[in-house]
Amino acid sequence: MRRQTSLVDIPVDIPKELTDLSKSFADVLLNIGSLYELQLKGDLPVGVENGIWREIPKRLGITEIPETQKDKFEEQIQTLEKGIFDLYPIMVNCGESEMDLIIGKVFSSEGDSVSYYSGAAGLANNNYINILDQFDSKLETLCQKLSVRSLDDGESIKDKAPEIKCLDVFSLAGGLDVSHKPICVFFSGGGPENISSLSNLTVFLNLYSARFRALTMEIAKRYLSGVEIIEGLSDSEISKLLLIWLRGHDVGHFIGEDRLGDKMSEFDMDYMILHELKSDMIALYSFRLFSDDLLNNGLLEKIYYLSVAEMLRYIRRGNILKHPDSASAYLAWCYFERSGAIKYDPGCGKFKIDLLLFGDAVSEFSKELLSIFSEGDAERARELVKRFGNLQTTNENDPSPRDCSETLREVIKDTDIAHYIDYNFITDK
């Protein structure tokens, strides 16, 4: 049984003034790719590493840069030369456009605790800033509805939430070019990397939407009853809904008190899974606040379908104990099935969503999770992770959780629908 990869064309229009820069960024990403390959082989002595790394500022240094940007660019290169902790963005503005290169090391998405050389280059996409601002304008209301104090220290949730930025990516390298292509990166811009210090979030928006169309939509068509309501979504609607979901999830990490972090290590798998789960539920909970504006004209229903379809995509990765976000999606799915909000219909072989029950289940589950975190009850936390059975895999041929329902096992095993995605970047017309 071989899992398929879907190859998707990604056209990105590079403004003429930035062509030279885009070539320079692409060259740098080749260096990042070499560092990554050597790292994987376990064949990267410090001397070689430094040698390849030093090529990067050299290559950037001979790039044609708009006159007004030269000083800033020089400064950024100097920072890079000093060595970087996690990821570092180089940003160049030119007229209306901005091109970014993000390079450095990120923790592997495959769950081992090694950080790998990674990089991405793209053009800033500012089309959704208003939508994100509108979402953020209701963060205090969201906290009130969830009956949580915004934050202990009187700081507003808005200041605490990471700054979000969207890129249309035209090149990926290293740890970002793996089979499970990440759609965003977090970086701290200085301090040690942990959930509470990651202050910047860059979303690869064009890749995110493309992945939704190529993978999630196919899963939805095959397995979700009522999928018609999301089939007609335009590209910009998909981007908008995905961003609202992501922003909700993202701020969800920062909402509510966290005494659990004192009891369990931040690298404890149960803790990481529940952190994702709390954020997922807060995202789903947040949607109802926008039924009259951001999510009016039927978009509210659509974003629920889109979220459920995305849950299936996460679950289909299998090996869920290696991926806290997949384990979170699985636990949420089991919770919704148990509460009757999601039901399998053997007649059509698809899952049906009951939106009323779904809304109730989201409220209850959000509150349960928030209380586990605020009370710091590690025992309740571990019980919750075990509530729906054993999450481990049975054997190498079956990546599903051991106690998974047979219907869900079929969805995970289904190799007619691609599990992975690859991109064919097209930058010259």
Instruction: Sort 392 into a burial class: Cβ within 10 Å, 0-12 / 13-18 / 19+.
Output: exposed
Give the count of residues interacting with Zn ion (CB under 5 A): 2
Q: Which is nearer to Zn ion, 109 or 279 (CB)?
A: 279
For residue 157, the Cα-to-chain-centroid distance in whole angstroms is 20
Shortest distance in whole angstroms from residue 2 CB to Zn ion: 30
Residue 262 CA to residue 277 CA, distance in Å, equals: 18
Q: What are phi and psi of 360, to 5 degrees?
A: -65, -45
Shortest distance in whole angstroms from residue 91 CB to Zn ion: 25
Q: Which is nearer to Zn ion, 314 or 335 (CB)?
A: 314
Shortest distance in whole angstroms from residue 279 CB to Zn ion: 5
What number of residues does the chain have?
429
Q: Which is nearer to Zn ion, 89 or 324 (CB)?
A: 324
Q: Which is nearer to Zn ion, 80 or 282 (CB)?
A: 282
Stretch 110-139 residues interacting with Zn ion (CB under 5 A): none
| Per-residue binding letters, 218-257, with Zn ion (x by CB under 5 A) | ----------------------------------------
Buried/exposed 407-427: b ≥16 CB within 10 Å, e otherwise:
ebbebbebeebbbbbebebee
Question: Which residue from 413, 127, 346, 137 is spatially nearest to 251, judged by alpha carbons?
Answer: 137
For the record, the structure tokens of 390 come out as 């054993």
CB distance 53 to 35 below 8 Å: yes
Q: Which is nearer to Zn ion, 14 or 331 (CB)?
A: 331
Beta strand pairing call for 5-11 and 342-345: unpaired
For residue 395, the Cα-to-chain-centroid distance in whole angstroms is 28
Question: Which residue from 236, 101, 103 is spatially nearest to 169, judged by alpha carbons?
Answer: 101
Q: Which is nearer to Zn ion, 65 or 381 (CB)?
A: 381
Stretch 266-285 residues interacting with Zn ion (CB under 5 A): 276, 279
Q: Which is nearer to Zn ion, 279 or 366 (CB)?
A: 279
* CA separation, residue 126 to residues 131, 181, 286, 384 (Å): 10, 22, 23, 40
Residue 248 CA to residue 75 CA, distance in Å, equals: 34
Shortest distance in whole angstroms from residue 46 CB to Zn ion: 33
Shortest distance in whole angstroms from residue 252 CB to Zn ion: 8
Residue 247 CA to residue 416 CA, distance in Å, equals: 31
Shortest distance in whole angstroms from residue 241 CB to Zn ion: 18
Shortest distance in whole angstroms from residue 344 CB to Zn ion: 27
Shortest distance in whole angstroms from residue 153 CB to Zn ion: 22
Of the CA atoms within 13 Å of residue 389, those in its CB half-sphere come to 15
Q: Which is nearer to Zn ion, 238 or 246 (CB)?
A: 246
CB distance 100 to 25 below 8 Å: no
Angle between helical axes of 355-375 and 378-386 (0-180°, round to 10): 150
Shortest distance in whole angstroms from residue 272 CB to Zn ion: 9
Q: Which is nearer to Zn ion, 104 or 182 (CB)?
A: 182
Which residues bind to Zn ion, rule: CB under 5 A?
A: 276, 279
